């Protein structure tokens, strides 16, 4: 069964802006910063997630032994030990994850509705109970142009009895692909996710979500994603995704 989700220019492509976007570079031929780039840089400094917020991609007591095993596997590749001692950057980088995009003190400046923005939370991190819903960590490999997510499916994500809701799976695919697109091409939003569901995922499972670059065409970034069990022997879903680079400060100014 296939489903086409057209999300358009929404915030769904921004799930990890607190760590991703400040480092993203717009697709431009010149190395000199433009006025819009400088405006965006200043806005990131005042509106993005503060690094003093709790990083929710770190291990907690709800993580299963399989979740921890995979986390340590990739995390150990973030730093490589040198022969003479010391360490250098490895091929993988862990992407921090927070529960909101805007800080509470920004709500009055960005919108007349202070109540909404003061309570706003990124959907995928809005459930506070450990292990109840989305437990995940994302690692990026810029050299291989790949991204991998380790996802533990909590009981509040139930759809079919005993299995994960298809929308929750799509949310995780969009999250991972959004992080990957932002790393590859700068601030990007989802245009479409074309998801083929091959097999249901049991609640409580730990799965791998992998994203790889197919091609880039101007502002467009085409990705392929798949969700598998932890050894890769079973494929749960396959996805073709398209993301579009945008000048994100224009969207922020509209709030």
What pLDDT, on the 0 to 100 scale, is given for residue 235?
A: 98
What pLDDT, on the 0 to 100 scale, is given for residue 172?
A: 98
What pLDDT, on the 0 to 100 scale, is given for residue 231?
A: 95
Question: What size, in residues, is the chain?
Answer: 255
Cα-only R_g, the chain: 18
Q: Of 96, 235, 126, 231, which Cα lies nearest the Cα of 173?
A: 235
Whether residue 243 contacts residue 220, with contact meaning beta carbons closer than 8 Å, is answered with: yes
Q: Annotated active-site positions, please? A: 174
What pLDDT, on the 0 to 100 scale, is given for residue 255?
A: 55
Spatial CB neighbours of 180, under 8 Å, sequence gap ≥ 6: 140, 146, 147, 211, 213, 223
Whether residue 67 contacts residue 150, with contact meaning beta carbons closer than 8 Å, is answered with: yes
DSSP characters over 162-199: TBB-HHHHHHHHHHHHHHHHHHHHSSEEEEEEEEEE-S
Return d(Cα 208, Cα 210) in angstroms, integer.
6
| Cβ neighbourhood burial of 36 (10 Å; 0-12, 13-18, 19+) | middle
pTM for the full predicted model: 0.77
What pLDDT, on the 0 to 100 scale, is given for residue 82?
A: 84
Residues in the chain predicted with pLDDT less than 50, given as ranges, are 3-51
Spatial CB neighbours of 224, under 8 Å, sequence gap ≥ 6: 211, 212, 214, 238, 239, 240, 241
- Buried (b) or exposed (e) across 75-112, using 16+ Cβ within 10 A? beeeeeeeeeeeeeeeebbbbbbbbbbbbeebbeeebe
What pLDDT, on the 0 to 100 scale, is given for residue 101?
A: 75
| Residue with tokens 């142009």, as numbered in its chain | 145
């Amino acid at each position: 069964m296939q489903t086409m989700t057209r999300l358009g220019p929404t915030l769904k492509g921004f799930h990890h802006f607190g760590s991703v976007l400040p480092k993203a570079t717009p697709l431009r031929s010149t190395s000199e910063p433009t006025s819009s780039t400088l405006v965006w840089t200043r806005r990131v400094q005042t509106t993005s997630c503060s690094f003093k917020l709790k990083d929710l991609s770190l291990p907690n007591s709800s993580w299963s032994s399989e979740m921890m095993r995979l986390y340590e596997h990739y995390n150990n590749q973030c730093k490589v030990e040198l022969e003479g001692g010391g360490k250098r950057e490895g091929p993988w980088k862990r992407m921090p994850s927070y529960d909101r995009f805007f800080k509470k003190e920004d709500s009055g400046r960005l919108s007349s509705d202070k109540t909404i923005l003061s309570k706003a939370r990124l959907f995928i991190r809005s459930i506070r109970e450990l292990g109840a819903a989305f437990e995940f960590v994302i690692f990026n490999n810029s050299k291989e142009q790949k991204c991998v997510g380790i996802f533990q499916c909590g009981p509040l994500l139930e759809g079919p009895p005993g299995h994960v809701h298809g929308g929750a799976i799509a949310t995780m695919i969009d999250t991972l692909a959004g992080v990957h697109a932002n790393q590859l091409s700068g601030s990007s939003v989802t245009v479409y996710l074309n998801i083929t569901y091959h097999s249901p995922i049991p609640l409580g499972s730990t799965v791998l979500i992998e994203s790889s670059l197919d091609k880039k065409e101007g502002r467009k970034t085409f990705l392929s994603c798949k969700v598998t069990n932890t050894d890769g022997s079973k494929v749960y879903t396959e996805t073709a995704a398209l993301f579009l680079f945008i000048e994100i400060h224009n969207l922020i100014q509209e709030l």
